[in-house]
Amino acid sequence: MAWLNYEVMAFYLNIIAMGVFLLLSSCKKFRSIRDRIGLGIGQRKTYDYLDYCKDDIHWFCMWFTSFSLCIFSITMRNNDHEGIQLSAGVKFTRHFLEIVLLRQLFFSTRFEMKSYIKLIIYTILAINLCMVKLFMDLEDQYSIWWGPVFLFDVVLHFYIFIQMGIEYSFWDKKKLEWEKDIVFTQRFNENENGPSEEQNIRNTVEIQINQGMMIPSKKQEMLLKNSSVNESLVEGSEDQEVPIVKIMKLTANMYTISYTAFMKANKEKYRMKQADQVEIFFKALFMFIVQCTFALTVLLYEKFNFGYKDNKNSTPVYFCLFFVSLILHWQCLPESRNGIYMMKYALCKPKEFSQPAVAFLLGFMNSTGIMLAQTCSLLRIIDQSSPTGVITKFVGFALIVAVPKLIVGTIQEGLEVQKSVGKLVLSESRKKAIAGGIDMPAGSLLNLIYCCYKWFWVSCYFYFFPFLVILAPVIKVTYLYRTEEEIA
């Protein structure tokens, strides 16, 4: 039973680990090892973030999964007299050393294997070898919950060291492949017929570098050029004034139209009166009240069943659950992103709005209304026991999510401000923009609200929110049932 629980929990903990990593990287800027050794090609701003981190994130996921399983096993063990004090102390000492190691390898400015880092790695290896003997002692004590996770942890770390050895042995080859990417990217961009000649350029670069036909000075010049560009774009060198231009695209709905109506430039351009601005704002506020009323009524007055389905249709039901939640998430993503962008722009450029606090409030209402409606929809969909019920509930709640778009047609024809919804352009980072203070009421509080929403959106919502439909039953089985038994 313990092994089965750990196998299931390891899957979900790996997903949670990626969310925790994204949260940490949003607080402290993360740069891949490739970028930190000067062989990056600007993937951080152009690639999907998990794709950018794919060569590094698995190390953190393995540590987080191992650490979380230890906590889980301690809370689940049913024998209070197991002698796990020594093994637990050794295990968590090693986890502490690994936290120090991860901090230096993941969030340092340069990737360098200093002597103290090597000492920590050798110490971790020595501790892991000693833990084999501790596991034998746990076997003699018939440890049910702690023993299996202890063995899982020991084997996982031996696997990590084997993988580290493989990475070390192929390190030079990997750097050579990165160098090929740099040379290919530069030649592709310099060639006017790059797209049609892509394969020829790639083959030429492959042959020249593999056979040493490229002039070393020319190759070094390309690498240094890439390194300087990569350094300025990713690290943000203070010696170089590199303009940061961020383009944030908004989709048209009642919130974004009202938001652009409060911009001073649009008010002048479309000859808007204050009464026009207020009218559009109250329509957006009405939409927010409608969404919250639907969602809160269902959340507060309905009962939800998160348990696993045990009927013969359970497999098709869970297939429908996941894909329906994924489609709903795709529908909600651009709408929730609107709110994040609107709050950020209002904080960075409050002087562009006649009422910057109201503009921020519109962004807040946009994100909150969409996320609340989506959460309510997912919780209600989980409760269904047939594929037809899942799809029917999805269609009904999808209309609640689409409400802000439906009312756009009610805006009077003479008011053309909806044409202004498009792009928001920032020429500097948020931290730099608000360094001198935020020129709006309760600016610090609003900035904190934005940060909380941004952290949630980055770490949990964007990638992993659809997994709620399969995570909720696991939480009920592993935690809530046990809590109910303890209370009883």
Give the amino acid at 99. I
Instruction: Determine the pLDDT at residue 340.
Output: 92
Instruction: State the DSSP code for 263.
Output: B
314 close to 320: Cβ distance less than 8 angstroms: no
Instruction: Determine the pLDDT at residue 485.
Output: 46
Longest dimension (CA), the chain: 83
The Cβ of residue 167 has, within 10 Å, a number of other Cβ atoms equal to 13
Structure tokens that stand for 105 in this block: 């390898």
The Cβ of residue 101 has, within 10 Å, a number of other Cβ atoms equal to 18
CA distance 261 to 415: 10
Instruction: Determine the pLDDT at residue 244.
Output: 60
Instruction: Determine the pLDDT at residue 269.
Output: 84
For the chain, which ranges sit under pLDDT 70? 1-4, 76-83, 140-144, 192-196, 210-244, 304-313, 409-415, 472-488
- HSE, CB side, 13 Å, CA atoms: give it for residue 427: 3
335 close to 251: Cβ distance less than 8 angstroms: yes
Instruction: Determine the pLDDT at residue 274.
Output: 84
- HSE, CB side, 13 Å, CA atoms: give it for residue 481: 12
Structure tokens that stand for 393 in this block: 């509930």
253 close to 337: Cβ distance less than 8 angstroms: no
Instruction: Determine the pLDDT at residue 221.
Output: 53
The residue among 260, 399, 411 whose CA lies nearest residue 341 is 260
| Phi then psi dihedrals of residue 246, to 5 deg | -115, 120
CA distance 421 to 251: 7
Place of tokens 């795709």: 330
